[in-house]
């Protein structure tokens, strides 16, 4: 779209348009006024905003929780702004304990390099790598001296650092907080100085660190960055944060059938949140779906299938979305097992049914849930229900395990 940069009203409208697109799904923008001013300056001078997202090369499998800020970056990119994708090659070796209860291990340089490869390989499913600027903070942080470090340290007080929630929590529980951990938010802030960032994205748990960028930019005489704080995506269980270790995630590299099936496993209550956070469905459309479910003109199951298709569409396109839906309907709705099923690796041999469901196949989150499901006949081996919670089964290759209506896997 071409804007007449000298026409105040056109500029103002464009600011509003971009602001509405970009603020979608944000928890907080610090602050909105500054953001609008930056957008206005960017539009009226035709200078793209420099939008920073930093990640640690910890080598995790990307899931839709990670995709939330990445998709926000894509919106910036589509609006013509400059995306600075910062890989913490230096800070990643420190490890930030944000939101975790223990000091993280330092990563070796080889690990870091390997992780970056894996990471970008997944990022390109969302962002066009050729259009973004990938930067590595070791490029400038490795050049800093002890004196530089002291200069940075001198700009912050102990009380300020301790105020970060996870630090104060660990200190109050007498758990160790290493001094090196104080450097993480400071160096993250310094990255913003180095990059002259206009905007930095991060999840709510990153808010403290994002604000340190504003502190340092101010002290270094720069315009302060706008902090765009994204909510943390809830996992499939609807309770915990989506994470690989909890198993409640949809990976960006999951197959279309897996993506679709996992979306189908969420509760009806979680649907609206997922529609907002992980799809591009416009707000008005989401409101319409809600209204239709409320007046009974749309079955929740149908709304969820549409959600599943929207998600698959983002990563694999329309055709794949349709195929995944067909697959799901044939397996779950039409009870046809003669299809490709998601595979799990489970040690062969005798195992108690609860252990199989919870510990090995990881289809359920806990023992009590497993007990309930088994007693109600929702647990089946090769389509045969087993209702005895003390029963053992003999796991072998090709065995089909079903837990309830929406989860089915085949032993590899």
Alpha carbons within 13 A on the beta-carbon side of 395? 21
Taking CB under 8 A as the rule, does residue 161 contact a second copy? yes
The residue (of 156 and 332) whose beta carbon lies closer to a second copy is 156
Taking CB under 8 A as the rule, does residue 176 contact a second copy? yes
65 contact partners, CB below 8 Å, separation of at least 6: 232, 233, 235, 241, 242, 243, 249
Stretch that binds a second copy, among 159-167, 219-227, 282-290, 384-392 (CB under 8 A): 159-167
Taking CB under 8 A as the rule, does residue 171 contact a second copy? yes
Taking CB under 8 A as the rule, does residue 174 contact a second copy? yes
The residue (of 105 and 124) whose beta carbon lies closer to a second copy is 105
Residue 330 in tokens? 């044939």
Stretch that binds a second copy, among 63-71, 154-162, 292-300, 328-336 (CB under 8 A): 154-162
Chain centroid to CA 401: how far? 29
CA distance 246 to 248: 5
Taking CB under 8 A as the rule, does residue 110 contact a second copy? no
Stretch that binds a second copy, among 18-26, 148-156, 219-227, 320-328 (CB under 8 A): 148-156
Taking CB under 8 A as the rule, does residue 267 contact a second copy? no
- What mask of x and - would describe binding to a second copy in positions 61 to 100, judged by CB under 8 A? ---------------------------------x------
Which of 316, 308, 311, 278 shows the shortest CA–CA distance to 24?
278
The residue (of 215 and 310) whose beta carbon lies closer to a second copy is 215
Given a contact cutoff of 8 angstroms between Cβ atoms, the answer to whether 241 and 251 are in contact is no
Taking CB under 8 A as the rule, does residue 172 contact a second copy? no
Alpha carbons within 13 A on the beta-carbon side of 390? 0
389 contact partners, CB below 8 Å, separation of at least 6: 353, 354, 370, 371, 374, 375
Given a contact cutoff of 8 angstroms between Cβ atoms, the answer to whether 56 and 91 are in contact is yes
List the beta strands (DSSP E) in 21-124. 28-30, 50-55, 82-87
Taking CB under 8 A as the rule, does residue 141 contact a second copy? yes
Strand pairing class (349-352; 82-87): unpaired
Residue 135 in tokens? 């930067």
**Chosen residue from 158, 221, 295, 384 binding a second copy by CB under 8 A:** 158
**Chosen residue from 35, 119, 136, 182 binding a second copy by CB under 8 A:** 182
Taking CB under 8 A as the rule, does residue 165 contact a second copy? no
CA distance 375 to 363: 16
The H or E element that residue 324 is part of is helix 318-328
Shortest separation between residue 333's beta carbon and a second copy, angstroms = 55
> How many residues make contact with a second copy (CB under 8 A)?
30
The residue (of 25 and 57) whose beta carbon lies closer to a second copy is 57
Shortest separation between residue 218's beta carbon and a second copy, angstroms = 17
Stretch that binds a second copy, among 13-21, 177-185, 289-297, 376-384 (CB under 8 A): 177-185
Shortest separation between residue 172's beta carbon and a second copy, angstroms = 11
For the stretch 359-362, contacts whose Cβ atoms lie closer than 8 Å and that sit 24 or more positions apart, written own/partner, are 360/395, 361/401, 361/403, 361/409, 362/247
The residue (of 155 and 352) whose beta carbon lies closer to a second copy is 155
Residues that bind a second copy (CB under 8 A): 94, 106, 141-142, 144-150, 153-154, 156-159, 161-162, 167, 171, 174, 176-180, 182-183, 186
């Amino acid at each position: 779209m071409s804007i007449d940069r000298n026409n105040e009203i056109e500029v103002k409208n464009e600011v509003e348009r971009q602001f509405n697109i970009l603020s979608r799904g944000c928890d907080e923008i610090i602050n909105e006024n500054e953001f609008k001013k930056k957008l206005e300056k960017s539009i009226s001078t035709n200078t793209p905003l420099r939008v920073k997202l930093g990640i640690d090369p910890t080598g995790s499998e990307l899931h839709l929780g990670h995709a939330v800020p990445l998709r926000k970056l894509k919106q910036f990119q589509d609006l013509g702004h400059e995306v600075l994708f910062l890989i913490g090659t230096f800070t990643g070796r420190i490890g930030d304990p944000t939101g975790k209860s223990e000091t993280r291990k330092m990563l070796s340089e080889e690990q870091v390099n390997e992780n970056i490869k894996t990471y970008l390989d997944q990022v390109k499913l969302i962002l066009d790598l050729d259009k973004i600027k990938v930067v590595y903070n070791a490029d400038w942080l490795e050049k800093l001296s002890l004196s530089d470090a002291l200069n940075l340290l001198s700009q912050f007080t102990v009380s300020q650092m301790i105020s970060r929630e996870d630090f104060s929590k660990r200190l109050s529980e007498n758990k160790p907080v290493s001094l090196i951990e104080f450097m993480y938010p400071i160096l993250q802030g310094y990255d913003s100085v180095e990059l002259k960032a206009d905007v930095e994205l991060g999840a709510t748990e990153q808010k403290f660190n994002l604000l340190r960028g504003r502190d340092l930019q101010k002290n270094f005489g720069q315009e302060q960055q706008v902090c765009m704080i994204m909510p943390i995506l809830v996992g499939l269980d609807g309770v915990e944060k989506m994470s690989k270790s909890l198993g409640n995630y949809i990976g960006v590299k999951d197959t279309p059938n897996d993506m679709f099936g996992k979306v189908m496993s969420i509760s009806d209550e979680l649907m609206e949140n997922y529609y907002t956070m992980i799809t591009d469905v416009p707000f008005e459309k989401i409101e319409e779906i809600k209204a239709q479910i409320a007046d009974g003109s749309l079955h929740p199951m149908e709304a969820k299938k549409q959600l599943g298709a929207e998600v698959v569409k983002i990563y694999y396109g329309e055709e794949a979305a349709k195929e995944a839906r067909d697959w799901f309907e044939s397996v779950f709705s039409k009870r046809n097992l003669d299809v490709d099923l998601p595979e799990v690796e489970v040690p062969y041999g005798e195992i108690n049914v609860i252990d199989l469901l919870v510990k090995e196949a990881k289809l359920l989150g806990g023992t009590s849930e497993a007990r309930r499901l088994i007693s109600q006949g929702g647990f089946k081996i090769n389509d045969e229900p087993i209702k005895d919670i003390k029963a053992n089964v003999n796991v072998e290759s090709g065995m089909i395990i079903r837990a309830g209506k929406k989860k089915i896997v085949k032993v590899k």
